[in-house]
Amino acid sequence: MSKISLRMFAIALCVLMGASACYAGSTGAVPSALLDETQPAAPTKETAVLAGGCFWGVQAVFQHVKGVISATSGYAGGSVKNPDYETVSSGRTGHAESVEIVYDPSQVTYGKLLWIFFSVVHDPTELNRQGPDEGTQYRSAIFYTNDVQKHVAEAYIAQLEQAHVFKHKIVTQVAELKGFYPAEAYHQNYAALHPTDTYIMFNDAPKVANLKKGFPEMYTGK
C-alpha cells in the first residue's frame, strides 16, 4: 500500500472511530503549568516554537488564542538550511513541522501556551507520529529560545509525568531552537482557508473546537 493510500486509510479510520479517539491520551484534565515565565505589566513580544504533528492544526489552534500576535507554519529542528516541504517530508533533514508563535506575555504566558499544547493540540505520548501522520517530521517537540523557556518546558513535562496525566510516557523533545524556516505560502492559514477539506474537518477542526470548549477565556474567534 502506498504512503498516500496509508494516509487516506488512517483518515478514514479516524472518521469511523471519531476524531477524538485518534488523539486520546490523557487520563483526565491536563493541569496548568506550576512554573511559568514572569508576566510583564506592559505589552511586549516573545516567540515560541512548537511541533505537534501536521502544522496545519497547530497553527489553527494558536491563531485562536488571545494574546497570540501571529502563528506561522514552518520547519525547525533539522540540519539542512532553507528546507522545503518535499525534503522535510522525506524524513531525511531532521526537521519537524513546527509553528512559530509570536505572542504577548502580558496577555498569555509561555506556560499557558504549553498548557494548550498538551491539552488540545496533540497527544505528546505518540512517538514520531500524530494521528494519521507518521515520521520524525511529525514528532512532538518544544524548541526553546531562552533558558526560561527551557526550564518552564522541562518542569511542566516533569509535573505532568509525576501526576500521571497521560496513559503513556511523554515523548516530547525539548531542544534549543537553532533556526526556524517558514513553510511555503500554500501551507499558511491552511485550515482557515480550507475548512471543508476532509483532513481539516476530522483532524484539526475538533482541536479548535476543544480549545473553545476547554479554554473559553483564552479563545478568540478572530
Determine, yes or no, domain membership for 219. Answer: no
* Residue at 222 is within a domain: no
Residue 54 annotated as catalytic: yes
* Active-site residue identified among 30, 33, 51, 54: 54
Cβ-count burial 61-100 (b if 16+ within 10 Å, e if not): bbbbbebbeebbbbbbbbeeeebeeebbbeeebebbbbbb
Are 153 and 107 within 8 A, CB to CB? Answer: no
Please tell me the predicted confidence (pLDDT) of residue 214.
Answer: 96
- Which triple of cell numbers denotes residue 38? 514572569
Mean pLDDT computed over every residue of the chain: 90
CATH number at residue 67: 3.30.1060.10
Report how many domains make up the chain: 1
Task: Indicate whether 92 belongs to any domain.
Answer: yes
Per-residue pLDDT of 149-194, as tens digits, reads 999 999 999 999 999 999 999 999 999 999 999 999 999 999 999 9
In this prediction, residue 48 has a pLDDT band, given cuts at 50, 70 and 90, of: very high
Does residue 220 fall inside a structural domain?
no
Whose CA is closest to 219, among 50, 100, 211, 59? 211
The pLDDT score that the predictor gives to residue 27 is 58
- Residues 67-110 have pLDDT tens digits of 999 999 999 999 999 999 999 999 999 999 999 999 999 999 99
Residue 95 in any domain: the answer is yes
Q: Is position 89 within any domain?
A: yes
Range of the domain at 91: 3-214
pTM assigned to the model: 0.89
**221 lies in some domain:** no
Lowest mean pLDDT across 18-22, 48-52, 123-127, 186-190: 18-22
Predicted pLDDT of residue 222? 76
Residue 133 resides in a domain: yes
